Chain A
Amino acid sequence: GQNIDQPTEMTATEGAIVQINCTYQTSGFNGLFWYQQHAGEAPTFLSYNVLDGLEEKGRFSSFLSRSKGYSYLLLKELQMKDSASYLCAVRDSNYQLIWGAGTKLIIKP
């Protein structure tokens, strides 16, 4: 079957750095997405990786290793507004998104 694993919850301190990991086992691979979802709101797109390596976008970076079935989202200079759930999703061979359950990130002052 297809499976996406992420930690359920993480806690970090304002101003620090946090890394959220995602491992996947899917039928085929056509890209990996990270979304941010604030409580009660819809997910919003953060990043996309299809090739191995690091993609940087301001305070957020995403890394992919296809051979290991592994990705991480790195958030730097954490702000209180970064408190949210972070969803990892993989596009499979049928171009459908397989979603992880999300990682709830709690930022403390």
Chain B
Amino acid sequence: SQTIHQWPATLVQPVGSPLSLECTVEGTSNPNLYWYRQAAGRGLQLLFYSVGIGQISSEVPQNLSASRPQDRQFILSSKKLLLSDSGFYLCAWSPFTPDVSYEQYFGPGTRLTVT
């Protein structure tokens, strides 16, 4: 069966510090991978998605970046955090085939507080 891991679970970082959040998927190959952010009481905002190694699409211009160094690894980074970067960060995966009804499966999330 497939599992998705995210770490850390919680993180408190000062403004201006760097960020690295990691997501890995087990039990599947060539998944589509996604990074979302959810502000308190809000819906999910898609930040980045990837359909393959080194292939990253950015949905929202901001001070965050994403990388996919391996097939089942997705990393979210920032060089300098802003207060507005606080939120609940969720990694998700879906099977590669785009034309079927596959839902997205979410990792446990990372709660980031920028102080």
- Please list the residues of chain A having a beta carbon within 8 angstroms of any beta carbon in chain B: 4, 31, 33, 40-45, 48, 50, 87, 89, 95-97, 99-102
Total inter-chain residue pairs, C-beta < 8 Å: 42
B43 contacts A99, C-beta separation under 8 Å: yes
Q: Which of B41, B49, B106, B108 contacts A96 (CB 8 A)?
A: B49
Q: Which of A42, A43, A45, A97 contacts B46 (CB 8 A)?
A: A97
**Cα distance A99–B109 when bound, in Å?**
17
A96 contacts B43, C-beta separation under 8 Å: no
Q: A87-B43, A96-B49, A102-B43 are in contact. Are A45 and B103 (CB under 8 A)?
A: yes
B103 contacts A100, C-beta separation under 8 Å: no
Q: From A41, A42, A95, A97, name the one whose CB has the most chain B CB atoms within 10 angstroms.
A: A42
Q: From B43, B105, B106, B107, name the one whose CB has the most chain A CB atoms within 10 angstroms.
A: B43
A96 neighbours in B (Cβ, 8 Å):
46, 49, 59
**Cα distance A44–B90 when bound, in Å?**
12
A-B CB contact pairs (8 Å), 14 listed: A31-B101, A40-B111, A42-B106, A42-B108, A42-B109, A43-B44, A45-B103, A50-B101, A89-B44, A95-B98, A96-B46, A96-B49, A97-B44, A102-B42
Q: Is there a chain A Cβ closer than 8 Å to B63's Cβ? A: no
Q: List B20-54 residues whose CB lies under 8 Å from chain A.
A: 41-46, 49
A42 neighbours in B (Cβ, 8 Å):
90, 106-109
**Cα distance A78–B9 when bound, in Å?**
31
B101 contacts A48, C-beta separation under 8 Å: yes
A44 contacts B43, C-beta separation under 8 Å: no
